[in-house]
Amino acid sequence: MKKNLVRKIWLSFFVILFFNNAYSQNKTFKYDFEYKPNSSKTSTIVEKTVLDIKDGSLSAFRTESEKKSDSLIAFTGYGSGDKINFEGQFYIIKNLSEKSILKSIKTLFREVFYIKITENFDWKILPDKNKIFNFDVQKAILNYGGRNWTAWFTTEIPIQDGPYVFHGLPGLIVKISDDKNDYSILLTEIQNANGEIYYRTKGTELTWEQFIKMAENHYSDPLARIKSTNIPFKKDDGHGGMVSVNMKQESDRMKTRIKENNNPIELNHRIEYK
């Protein structure tokens, strides 16, 4: 309760600052991104995510760790590690002035791919109104990715954007969730973004069919690339040293983790791993 009160005061205070600053400034909107990676379990993961908006129409949505990694890559050429499963990646780049939405996927070997999101976002705005953290919000519904979504947006922040792929409402999306309660994304903080916003700008385009084929190949042998180098595979032993890895055991462990993540946000593109 105390945490929600502090969050409410902070967000309300920032709205005043927001309207006293020029819209040319870059903005950062932080969201808690909660989801169930496994549809047969009740446990959830909460990712700390950010929506960085540049010049009003260009935006990047990603985890806080991905944002830090992008900055490291821009300055040093090296970033942090990436997830072994593709379905748990939620990196989105939007250019709303060009009606472009790209879903970016990064492999363990730092190869970057992207899928063009071409679906129409046909929102139905409903008369229902509410308050979330002192924002006056209105309800809207949408079908996307094989899921039915309910969004709450506020015209107090007249930006037609939101977390992940979601956009196109008459104000910022404060909260959005699907009717299965598998995914729920909630605004937690707003900031003026200082300095340059770094994000992924390169990659190889894939269709959904090509993406699924790539994911299936990765699942069949997650360590194929490492095996082909004939270089001994070692990892941190947790005590400052390195220990050799049993390739088969590690591969089986990775395959289990990939298979258990069976609840992608785009449910209509779920991969049935064998």
SS3 268: helix
pLDDT digits (tens, 9 = 90+) for 179-216: 999 999 999 999 987 778 888 988 999 999 999 999 99
- Determine the structural domain holding residue 134 and report its residue range: 1-274
Rounded Cα–Cα distance for residues 14 and 25 (Å): 14
pLDDT cut 90: percent of the chain above it: 61
Structure tokens at 261: 């993540």
pLDDT value at residue 7: 53
pLDDT value at residue 23: 46
E-assigned strands of 55-156? 58-63, 91-95, 100-106, 112-116, 124-132, 135-144, 147-154
E-assigned strands of the chain? 27-35, 45-54, 58-63, 91-95, 100-106, 112-116, 124-132, 135-144, 147-154, 172-178, 183-192, 204-206, 234-236, 242-244
Q: Please, are residues 197 and 26 in contact by the beta-carbon 8 Å criterion?
A: yes
Other CB atoms within 10 A of residue 16 CB: 8
Structure tokens at 63: 């985890």
Rg (CA), the chain: 20
The tokens 């909630």 sit on which residue?
186
pLDDT digits (tens, 9 = 90+) for 224-245: 888 877 777 777 777 888 888 8
pLDDT cut 70: percent of the chain above it: 89
Residue 64 has pLDDT above 60, yes or no: yes
Q: What angle (nearest 5°) sits at the alpha carbon of residue 58, between those of residues 52 and 64?
A: 20
Number of domains within the chain: 1
